């Protein structure tokens, strides 16, 4: 699908930019936000080494998650493995925090939430909701275990509203931007297809116009003369012109219908030249013609040019399928013997002169 | 003087009808008498028997192909000469298979139409170049087998040679050329769908010595095959 490719690339480029923005946001939060909080409350922890180890586990989870999402949307196993590791590290860090100050010193809650946003970003929205709910419950559970105070609950709800609100907002924002990028890409694809259609229509129009111009300078003046009475149908000269134009009209109508293959087109081109000299040329084909290689075609078209140049008023060219090849024949009122090309490239040429009429046949065999 | 052949023209373009009428009038022997013209098939005069010996039938009436109407016309006793702007071998073959005596393309009209009508009236084959083209292009599996000579005569005739020239080319008499071409045509009358016109053509060809009953042996074996396997289609009687 060549038409879809640029649009898909464009949509993919936008989505990647949003992914990078989320990676930077999550990594920045963990380094500066959580890292800063950890260092600030360093004396408050019973074991700073354990908190540091959990911070590193979280950092590794974020790194793994970043690599995954930059490579494409992760599968549910990989995404949830990272999410569960983050959740476990966060819960362990919370459990190891001093009971009374948990909300103030707990750096891990935010990081775990952002890690979930990172890996579940382009999965179903419900998965992220489940993860954030599980994380909030785990943190609340640790607090209940420590002995929940009323003031702690109010603080917990405030932090919950703030952090979860921000995380959901980012996830929803990326989702909306993805949608917009998709729409932009579809619009670009439609525009591309429309442009292609227009180009095709233009090619058809040009071909039609060329045919129309051909008729304008040939058949139309003749018809006008006949209608005006300035051309006399009784005049032999006028009848020859009519025959030539009738043959040309028939060929223009047949063009593109049942004339595949370049040999037929090359013969048509030779016929056009003869027509300009006033020779009426018919071209007929019988059967599905095989492809004729270039050098053999050259021999056949050389014969066609020699005969059509010598034709006085009429010529018939036929192409017929014969056993293992093709027979291209010419019947024309050449009057004199025509010099024909020698047999070569698998093409045998025979001819017979009957009075003023020449018959010649170029037969190409595929074997 | 022989009795004139009566003909009806069914053609939806009056200018073509007029042209065909003028070819009939300008025949030096006045061998054909135009008795009726109609713009469609319903315009044919209804009566106990056919109103003309031969119908010149334009295959496309008011934009519709009427090849499927040919069996009905043939059954009513008409001999049909198709006269059409089409040269597509598939249409030519279908027309002949449906029982038309001859096929004349509109390009071939002035040279061949009157002769084709006369041949049809006598139940004799008349093979135009467009018919030769259709036979040469025929690749259907159940097509009749043509001899090398019949094929060569058809090919040279299609290529545009006069029959006299074809004879010189093949070192045979012009009459033998006609015989080969007529025989190829008669073989086609012996295949495909049943039609009284095809039977008449075949009977006349045997009578004229164009074809021997033995020449259509492949057809008879085809008939046996068809009797064993009715789905192969009904051959001519």
In the 3-class helix/strand/coil scheme, how is A21-66 assigned residue by residue? HHHHHHHHHHHHHHHHHHHHCHHHCCCHHHHHHHHHHHHHHHHHHH
Rounded CA-CA distance B201/B205 in Å is 6
pLDDT of residue A342: 82
Query: Can you read off the two tokens belonging to residue A288?
Result: 């599905």
Q: Do B155 and A250 touch (CB under 8 A)?
A: no
| Predicted ipTM beyond 0.95 | no
Contacts of A282 in chain B (CB under 8 A): 107, 160
Residues B29/B3, Cβ–Cβ less than 8 Å: no
Tell me A256's DSSP state. T
Q: Where are the alpha helices (DSSP H) in A148-261?
A: 150-217, 219-228, 236-254
HEC secondary structure over chain B: CCCCEEEEEECCCHHHHHHHHHHHHCCCCCCEEEEEEECCHHHCCCCCCCCCCEEEEECEECCEECHHHHHHHHHCCCEEEEEECCCCHHHHHHHHHCCCCEEEECCCHHHHHHHHHHHHHCCCCCCCHHHHHHHHHCCCCCCCCCCHHHHHHHHHHHHCCCHHHHHHHHCCCHHHHHHHHHHHHHHHHCCCCCCHHHHHHHHHHHHCCCCCHHHHHHHHHHHHHHHHCHHHCCCCC
Tens-place pLDDT, residues B16-30: 999 999 999 999 989
pLDDT of residue A333: 92
Residue B190 has phi, psi (to 5 degrees) of -90, 0
**Which pLDDT tens digits describe chain A residue by residue (367 residues)?**
344 445 556 677 888 888 899 999 999 999 998 898 888 888 888 888 898 999 999 999 999 999 998 888 888 899 999 999 999 998 888 888 877 677 777 888 889 999 999 998 888 888 899 999 998 888 888 888 877 666 677 888 888 888 888 888 988 998 888 888 888 888 888 888 888 778 777 777 777 787 778 778 778 888 899 899 888 888 878 887 787 777 777 666 655 544 456 788 888 878 887 887 888 899 998 988 888 888 888 889 888 988 988 898 899 999 999 888 999 999 999 887 778 888 888 899 999 998 889 999 999 988 7
Query: Can you read off the two tokens belonging to residue A142?
Result: 């640790």
Rounded CA-CA distance A243/B74 in Å is 35
pLDDT of residue A158: 85
pLDDT of residue B235: 40
Residues B203/B123, Cβ–Cβ less than 8 Å: yes
Asked if pLDDT for residue B162 goes beyond 90, the answer is yes
Would an 8 Å CB–CB cutoff place B168 in contact with chain A? Answer: yes
Tell me A73's DSSP state. S
Would an 8 Å CB–CB cutoff place B148 in contact with chain A? Answer: no
Rounded CA-CA distance A18/A179 in Å is 12
How many other C-beta atoms can be found within 10 angstroms of the C-beta atom of residue B226? 15
> Hey, where are the domains in chain B?
5-232
Q: Do B159 and A287 touch (CB under 8 A)?
A: no
Best of A242, A284, A322, A351 to mutate (most B CBs within 10 Å, chain B): A284
> Hey, where are the domains in chain A?
4-189, 238-365
How many other C-beta atoms can be found within 10 angstroms of the C-beta atom of residue B40? 15
Would an 8 Å CB–CB cutoff place B207 in contact with chain A? Answer: no
Mean pLDDT of B92-115: 91
Contacts of B164 in chain A (CB under 8 A): 354
Rounded CA-CA distance B127/A206 in Å is 41
Rounded CA-CA distance A316/A329 in Å is 8
User: Measured between CB atoms, which of B134, B137, B165 is closest to A359?
Assistant: B165
Q: Do B136 and A320 touch (CB under 8 A)?
A: yes
Would an 8 Å CB–CB cutoff place B111 in contact with chain A? Answer: no
Residues A349/A361, Cβ–Cβ less than 8 Å: yes
Chain A nearest CA to B6, separation (Å): 30
Q: Parallel, antiparallel, or unpaired for β B32-38 and B5-10? A: parallel
Residue of B nearest to A357 (CA): B161
Rounded CA-CA distance B9/B2 in Å is 22
Contacts of B129 in chain A (CB under 8 A): 284
Architecture of the structural domain at A238-365? 2-Layer Sandwich (3.30)
pLDDT of residue B228: 46
Angle (deg, nearest 10), helices A4-28 and A48-71: 170
pLDDT of residue A298: 83
At residue A318, the 3 state secondary structure works out as strand
Percentage of residues of chain B with pLDDT beyond 90: 53
Rounded CA-CA distance A152/A101 in Å is 9
Rounded CA-CA distance A274/A267 in Å is 11
Mean model confidence pLDDT for chain B: 85
Mean pLDDT of B67-80: 90
Rounded CA-CA distance A311/A358 in Å is 9
B100 vs A2, A102, B5, B21, B60, CA distance in Å?
A: 51, 102, 17, 20, 15
Chain B nearest CA to A3, separation (Å): 37
Q: Indicate the burial class of A77 (C-beta count within 10 angstroms; 0-12, 13-18, 19 or more).
A: exposed
- The pLDDT confidence band at residue B46, using thresholds 50, 70 and 90, is low
Residues A344/A309, Cβ–Cβ less than 8 Å: no
Edge to edge, the sheet with strand B79-84 lists: B32-38, B5-10, B54-58, B79-84, B102-105
Rounded CA-CA distance B6/B14 in Å is 19
Residues A252/A287, Cβ–Cβ less than 8 Å: no
- Is the pLDDT higher at B38 or at A151? B38
- Is the pLDDT higher at B79 or at A246? B79
Residues with Cβ within 8 Å of residue A273, at least 6 apart in sequence = A305, A308
Residue A184 has phi, psi (to 5 degrees) of -60, -40
Q: Which residues of A fall below an 8 Å CB-CB distance to B?
A: 250, 258, 282, 284, 286-288, 316, 318, 320-322, 327, 329, 331, 352, 354, 357, 359, 361
Fold of B5-232: Rossmann fold (3.40.50)
pLDDT of residue B47: 58
Rounded CA-CA distance A110/B161 in Å is 95
Q: Do A318 and B137 touch (CB under 8 A)?
A: no
Residues with Cβ within 8 Å of residue A349, at least 6 apart in sequence = A299, A303, A340, A341, A342, A343, A360, A361, A362, A363
Residues with Cβ within 8 Å of residue A122, at least 6 apart in sequence = A69, A73, A174, A178
Would an 8 Å CB–CB cutoff place B165 in contact with chain A? Answer: yes
Would an 8 Å CB–CB cutoff place B159 in contact with chain A? Answer: yes
Q: Do B137 and A250 touch (CB under 8 A)?
A: no
Tally A–B CB contacts below 8 A. 56
How many other C-beta atoms can be found within 10 angstroms of the C-beta atom of residue A263? 25
Residues A105/A44, Cβ–Cβ less than 8 Å: yes
Residues A137/A145, Cβ–Cβ less than 8 Å: no
**Containing H/E element for A124?**
none
């Amino acid at each position: 699908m060549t038409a879809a490719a640029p649009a898909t690339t464009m949509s993919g480029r936008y989505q990647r930019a949003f992914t990078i923005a989320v990676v930077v946001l999550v990594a920045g939060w963990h380094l500066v936000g959580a890292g800063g909080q950890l260092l600030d409350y360093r004396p408050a922890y019973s074991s700073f080494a354990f908190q540091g180890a959990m911070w590193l586990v979280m950092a590794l989870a974020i790194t793994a998650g970043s690599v995954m999402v930059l490579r494409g949307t992760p599968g549910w196993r990989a995404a949830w493995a990272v999410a569960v590791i983050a959740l476990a590290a966060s819960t362990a860090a919370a459990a190891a925090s001093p009971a009374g100050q948990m909300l103030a010193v707990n750096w891990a809650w935010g990081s775990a939430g952002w890690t979930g946003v990172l890996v579940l970003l382009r999965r179903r929205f419900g998965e992220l909701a489940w993860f954030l709910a599980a994380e909030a419950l785990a943190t609340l559970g640790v607090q209940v275990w420590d002995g929940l105070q009323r003031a702690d609950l109010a603080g917990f709800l405030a932090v919950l509203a703030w952090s979860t609100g921000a995380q959901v907002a980012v996830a929803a924002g990326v989702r909306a931007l993805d949608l917009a990028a998709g729409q932009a890409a579809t619009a670009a694809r439609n525009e591309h297809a429309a442009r292609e259609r227009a180009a095709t229509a233009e090619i058809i129009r040009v071909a039609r116009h060329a045919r129309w111009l051909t008729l304008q300078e040939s058949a139309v003046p003749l018809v006008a003369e006949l209608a005006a009475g300035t051309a006399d149908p009784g005049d032999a000269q006028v009848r020859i012109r009519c025959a030539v134009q009738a043959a040309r009209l028939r060929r223009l109508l047949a063009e593109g219908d049942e004339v595949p293959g370049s040999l037929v087109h090359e013969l048509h081109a030779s016929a056009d030249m003869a027509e300009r000299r006033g020779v009426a040329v018919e071209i007929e084909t019988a059967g599905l013609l095989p492809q004729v290689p270039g050098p053999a075609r050259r021999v056949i078209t050389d014969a066609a040019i020699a005969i059509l140049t010598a034709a006085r008023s009429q010529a018939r060219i036929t192409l017929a399928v014969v056993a293992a090849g093709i027979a291209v024949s010419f019947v024309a009122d050449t009057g004199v013997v025509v010099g024909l090309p020698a047999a070569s490239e698998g093409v045998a040429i025979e001819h017979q002169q009957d009075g003023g009429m020449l018959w010649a046949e170029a037969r190409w065999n595929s074997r | 003087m022989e009795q004139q052949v009566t003909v009806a023209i069914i053609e939806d373009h009056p200018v073509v009808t007029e042209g065909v009428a003028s070819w009939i009038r300008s025949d030096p022997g006045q061998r054909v008498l135009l008795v009726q013209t109609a713009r469609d098939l319903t315009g044919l005069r209804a009566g106990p028997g056919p109103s003309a010996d031969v119908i010149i039938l334009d295959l496309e009436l008011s934009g519709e192909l009427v090849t499927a109407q040919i069996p009905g016309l043939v059954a009513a006793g008409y001999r049909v000469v198709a006269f059409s702007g089409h040269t597509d071998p598939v249409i030519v073959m279908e027309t002949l298979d449906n029982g038309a005596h001859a096929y004349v393309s509109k390009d071939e009209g002035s040279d061949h139409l009157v002769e084709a009508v006369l041949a049809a009236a006598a139940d004799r084959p008349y093979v135009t170049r467009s018919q030769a083209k259709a036979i040469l292009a025929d690749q259907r599996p159940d097509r009749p087998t043509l001899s090398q000579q019949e094929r060569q005569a058809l090919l040279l005739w299609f290529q545009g040679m006069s029959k006299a020239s074809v004879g010189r080319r093949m070192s045979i008499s012009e009459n033998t050329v006609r015989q080969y071409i007529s025989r190829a045509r008669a073989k086609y009358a012996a295949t495909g769908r049943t039609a009284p016109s095809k039977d008449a053509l075949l009977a006349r060809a045997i009578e004229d010595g164009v074809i021997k009953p033995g020449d259509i042996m492949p057809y008879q074996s085809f008939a046996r095959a068809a009797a064993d396997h009715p789905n192969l289609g009904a051959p001519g009687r």
